[in-house]
Amino acid sequence: MRLPLMAAVSGLALSVGVTGLNAMTVDQENSMAADAATATPAAEAENPLLAEWTGPFEGVPPWDEMEPDHFSGAFEAAMAEMRAEVQAVIDNPEPPTFENTNMPMELIGDTMNRVQSMFGVAVSNISNDEYRAVQAEWAPRLAAFYQELYLQPELIARYRAVYEGLDEATDLTAEQRRLATRDYEQLQRNGALLEGADRERLGEITEELAGLYSEFSNKVLADEETYILLDSEDDLAGLPESFVNTLRGAAEEREVEGWAVVNTRSYMQPFLQNSTRRDLREQVYNAYINRGDNGDENDTNATIAQILQLRAERAALLGFETHAHWRMADTMAGTPENAEDLMMRVWPAAVARVEQEVADMQAIADREGAGITIEPWDYRFYAEKVRQDRYSIDESEITPYFQLENMIEAMFYAAGRLYDLEFTENTGTVPVFQEDVRTFAVTDSRDGSNVGLFYLDNYARTGKRSGAWMTTYRSQQTLGGEQNVLASNNNNFTEPAEGEVALISLDDASTLFHEFGHGIHYLLQDVYYPGLSGTPRDFVEYPSQVNENWLLTRDILNRFATHYETGEPMPQELVERIEESETFNQGFATVEYLSSAIVDMRLHHRVDPITDVDAFERETLTEIGMPDEIVMRHRLPQFNHLFSSDAYSAGYYSYLWSETMDADTWEAFVESGDVWNREIADRFRATLLSTGNETDRAEAYREFRGRDPDVDALLRKRGFPTGTIGATGDDD
């Protein structure tokens, strides 16, 4: 894997998009350069992070040798290497050309890429106080390093010369022209033309933001390591036995008596869905939604306010009206207005559906004599009652058929049938960073050639951030030689008690397929230049969302949804009831997500940054008519997508933008009469999955579908009324 140019400059050095490793001051660089240059040979002998990766699949990370104290020396040596590589490009006496400027810059930083790949796992999957201390020190130092390295005037002059000479460079291919254009235009967007005090201030902002991102993510993680202790069997009323065992295991890990409800989504969601103790549902709910917002040492409100102030200042320095305009300059939506237009056209239908869902839940509560008004901590609980009442189905009936092991086999089966990818488990043959991590060799079933290695980290644990994500430790490219992909999916399912089968919910199974869709995207990539591998933020979620659709196909359910005790396949009548309920509770799902996306956009689509985070959140939700019975999927004080890096800031809308393409893509398969249609799958792969960012993504979509995506497909998929909105716009 080689870091694309602007991933480094814009502070997104880690593909996980959470820690945002980035930089160092000029004085620090100069003082360290000589030390690093002379110390590197010895450091390489002593520091395993600096060695070339060895072993199968063209080398794998030495997870079994990684320690927190390895990273400082590794970063210093990697920076010295990158500095020398860039200087060699700058010192080239020949006039700047694509071949002697853009191309060698595509190939720099092998050591840094290896070190950062491993550090991303250290701070996301197995974090502890030592790793957090390293992160707090090195996030700002690396941010400043990248800022200074890539924005050197001599280097920018070479990029500019290539860019301005494109009309005369008739021998360049379309891909080379696209790369040269994107390289220079993105440098411009990131401060290449700033001089003097403005340039110095941009470096300071970059460094300050990196430190604040680290501070934010560590505070949220600290709150997620807290728990509510249940000390009476009465507190367990309504909870499935398998989940009770998980709670007991969590308590034992923390060396306390009783049952521990850890403050993460993987514990909160099943508790609220099943517990008949309304008082405890409220307690668990409040603890979860108030992460980072308790006025204590882990409160993030002041951190967020600082981040917003610096982002606004940076946008102005770079010549953009707002942070949102800056972040969206290289997206499919193009402008904040286009993104908000799509969101607000879907919002009214979602809110209207919530009103219906709440009325249905209230009717059941009244019929049962509960004597309550539906509150946010009741939504999941009574939604299950409605589903059982309407479709004679509840989660407890479905879950026994969703064995995690079977669902893993199912996602591999689908990838093989659609894309000829074959997965063979080889756990134990390569190092892993935690004993539960499994590995799979990936080959092309057509000719048996190696594609790469797939890591699967399924279970929640202390030190692992919440949520689910995909990352690569090494990505595909052709420039510099083909290499095996090292891809990883990371989930937070609750680990079963010893000797028990791992069962997951339907929502968990959907998450499994979603993250695997990201993995498929990277495993199928076939690009020449690394700089044309990354896609716009509002395209990234598209392949993963498409992949979710195959989970509930008859073939998958009939083959893999077998009862964990009897081994019997899911009864066809239950399959049919699941299909009938596919649009159930879509009001909740849409409003929970979309409220977060709208607040994100309005937070960043303003010239003057807000200072009172909680007040802004409340006022914005009131303004758009947020239902009282639902809370944002990610409240601002814990919104890692926005404040642990720039990655999804002014970009959380991208899930909806991507889902519009996803829904329209799925209709192409459905309309063909065969959801496994290989002609469509091959076209999808050739135009969109394998091509990275080699062509404009909107044009690539039109090549695949023959037109722009139909937004009505999204409404149909969610069961909302259609015919009131049109298609998404072009790039411009």
Q: Tell me the DSSP string of 340-408.
A: HHHHHHHHHHHHHHHHHHHHHHHHHHHHTT------GGGHHHHHHHHHHHHHS--HHHHGGG-BHHHHH
Give the pLDDT confidence score for residue 34 in this predicted structure.
Answer: 36
Q: Which residues contact 200 (CB under 8 A, 6 or more apart)?
A: none
Q: How far apart are CA 128 and CA 729, in angstroms?
A: 45
The answer to whether 494 touches 270, Cβ cutoff 8 Å, is yes
Mean pLDDT, rounded, of the chain: 91
Q: How far apart are CA 329 and CA 309, in angstroms?
A: 20
Parallel, antiparallel or unpaired: strands 485-493 and 450-459: parallel
Give the pLDDT confidence score for residue 723 in this predicted structure.
Answer: 58
- Average of pLDDT values for 146-161? 95
pLDDT(396) > 90: no
Q: Which residues contact 231 (CB under 8 A, 6 or more apart)?
A: 257, 258, 259
Compute, in degrees rounded to 10, the torsion defined by CA atoms 244, 386, 511, 272: -40
Reported as a pLDDT band with limits 50, 70 and 90, residue 483 is confident
Q: How far apart are CA 141 and CA 138, in angstroms?
A: 5
CATH 1.10.1370.40 domain locations along the chain: 5-221, 399-580
Whether this prediction's pTM lies above 0.95 is answered by no
* Token couple for 533: 């591998």
pLDDT(680) > 90: yes
Compute, in degrees rounded to 10, the torsion defined by CA atoms 144, 147, 152, 158: 160
Question: How many helices (H) and strands (E) would you count in the chain?
Answer: 29, 7
Name the least confident of 3-12, 403-412, 647-656.
3-12
Reported as a pLDDT band with limits 50, 70 and 90, residue 39 is very low
SS3 call for 699: helix
pLDDT tens string 116-139: 999 999 999 999 999 999 999 999
pLDDT(684) > 70: yes
Q: How far apart are CA 684 and CA 520, in angstroms?
A: 12
Phi-psi domain of 355 (left: phi exceeds 0; alpha: psi -120 through 50; beta: other): alpha
Q: 149 or 729: whose pLDDT is higher?
A: 149
Angle at 381 between CA 376 and CA 385, to 5 degrees: 130
Q: How far apart are CA 27 and CA 169, in angstroms?
A: 39
CATH class name, domain 399-580: mainly alpha
- As a CATH number, domain 5-221 is 1.10.1370.40
C-alpha Rg value of the chain to the nearest Å: 25
Q: How far apart are CA 25 and CA 218, in angstroms?
A: 23
**Diameter of the chain by CA atoms?**
84
Residue of 220, 229, 362 lying closest to 293 (CA atoms): 220
Determine the straight-line distance between the first and last CA of the chain, rounded to whole angstroms: 31
Q: How far is CA 70 from the centre of its chain?
A: 27
Q: How far is CA 132 from the centre of its chain?
A: 20
Give the pLDDT confidence score for residue 721 in this predicted structure.
Answer: 87
Cβ neighbourhood burial of 449 (10 Å; 0-12, 13-18, 19+): exposed
Catalytic annotation, residues: 515
Could you give phi then psi for residue 438, rounded to 5 degrees? -110, 155
